[in-house]
Chain A
Amino acid sequence: MSDKFADDIIAFLPNLRRFALSLCRAPDTADDLVQVTVERAFAARHQFDPTTRLDAWLFRILRNAWIDMTRRARTRGTQIDIEDAPDASTVDGTRITETALMLRSAKAAIETLPDNQRDVIMLICVEEMSYKEAAEILALPVGTVMSRLARARLAIANKLGIKTGEPRSSGSQGDS
């Protein structure tokens, strides 16, 4: 018997894992988080509005599950082990423009962002949610999402050596 809801969720599992990994940074915990998300999604499937994006709905559930997990971890004193990101230490910020290195340093740049900036980067730039969808997932006003997203991108640009000019002013040097 085919179940489109289930098939669609399976199709989004890689995206859910990616978002989970960006939140908790430990592959095992990420998989647990996806598992909980899937369970909650099925428990609530009759509340899903099929005119909206399933992935946005799933991300919202996943993020709530993460908040809940951290809340419990904090009070129960259990540690969520954070796998150190080997990429972060191997990039030295010199002007090597190898694509691979650029990608690794972009990944490192994202990983070193504050959590609330990384969330918006993952949802909007990586998962291609709209500002409104991201705002609903994060339970934030759209304006807050936008200001975090702009800050996050300026920070990434800085780390990658993308010319940032002088934001909001007229003093850019214009060499390209």
Chain B
Amino acid sequence: MQKPEFTDEELMAYADGELPEDRAAALDLALMNSTDLTDRLALFMDTKAAAKEAMEPLLRQPVPDHLVETVRALSAADQQARMSSDDTVVAFPQDTAAPAQSPVWKLPLAAGLALAVGLGAGLMLSPDSSTGLGSIEIAALADTRIIAALDTLPSGEDVVLPDGARIAPIATFFDGARTLCREFEFDRADGTTVVSVACQRNGQWDVQMAIAAAAASDTGYAPASSLDTLDAYLSANDAGPPLDPDAEAAALSTLR
């Protein structure tokens, strides 16, 4: 039984103009003598053409005005912002796995966004007079009410604390080191939202990252851009998928 001289992937790469030159030259020759090869190659060319053509009409659908307006508004806001001042960014400390393998653009930080990573309880982002953001204290993990919520509250539920702050676990997962972690949102009474990930270390919840943003919008949620930072954190730490409710309940029950 003769091994195939060219794999499907090589034929496909040839059809897509991605086969390295030496292999492409060899395939050029082989194609002259084999209808089998030409048929297999045609399959990859035909499927590409069919896919492209089939999806073409979608490009002609009118784009909703509000999307274009959003771009214009962001562009205008951008130009204005550039005239005034900028971000408050606290860099990753060295002990946290920075996403070294990630392209820089995977980690966008928005204006008005503050980031701090890997500090213990009572972490504090220093105020920057230029942002007007003021000092943000995440008293989080010394706060027994927050600890209780992380220990017991299922993801998707929230609890409002007496001072009007709200804590809402978003997801529970294991990171690459099989450490139990929870992603949660913490809305302070003053309207500041903190998106945070805390993991279990030595029996306590240790803040791994926290992104704080003045709630700029009516929704009170952290701006979407802050979630890119969260994405980068999650992928850098091999975060597993969110546990389903049963698995989450089981994982949390081990904390008691």
- Mark A residues whose CB is within 8 Å of B: 1, 3, 5-6, 9-10, 13-15, 17-18, 21-22, 31, 34-36, 38-40, 42-45, 47-49, 57, 60-61, 64-65, 67-68, 71-72, 74-77, 102-104, 106-107, 110, 121-122, 124-126, 128, 130-131, 136, 139, 146-147, 149-150, 153-154, 156-157, 160, 162-165, 167-172, 174, 176
Contacts and interface: CB of A to CB of B under 8 A. Distances in A.
Interface in B27-62: 35-36, 39-40, 43-44, 46-48, 50-55, 57-61
Nearest to B40: A165
Interface stretch (B103-111, B123-131, B135-143): B103-111
A75 B184 CA distance: 11
Contacts of A126: 51-52, 55
B64 interface: yes
Interface in B49-87: 50-55, 57-61, 63-64, 66-68, 70-72, 74-75, 77-79
Interface stretch (B5-13, B114-122, B144-152, B200-208): B5-13
Contacts, number: 197
Bin the interface of chain B by size. 35 or more
Nearest to A168: B4
Given A75-B155, A139-B235, A121 B51 contact: yes
A10 B79 CA distance: 17
A170 B2 contact: yes
Contacts of A164: 43
A167 B108 contact: no
Contact of A172 (B36, B52, B54, B67): B36
A21 B107 CA distance: 25
B111 to A, nearest CB: 7
Given A68-B231, A146-B9, A176 B39 contact: yes
Contact of B16 (A76, A106, A131, A162): A131
A170 B104 CA distance: 46
18 contacts: A1-B79, A14-B63, A31-B67, A44-B228, A49-B105, A68-B230, A71-B242, A72-B170, A75-B170, A76-B156, A103-B53, A125-B47, A126-B55, A128-B52, A131-B13, A131-B16, A150-B9, A150-B12
A123 to B, nearest CB: 11
Given A31-B64, A153-B47, 12 more contacts: A10-B68, A14-B59, A43-B223, A57-B105, A72-B170, A76-B155, A76-B170, A104-B54, A106-B50, A150-B9, A156-B47, A170-B4
Contact of A39 (B16, B79, B170, B224): B224
A65 B108 CA distance: 12
A176 B121 CA distance: 71
Contacts of B108: 40, 43-44, 47, 61
Contacts of B59: 14-15, 18
Nearest to A61: B228
Contacts of B8: 150, 154, 167-168
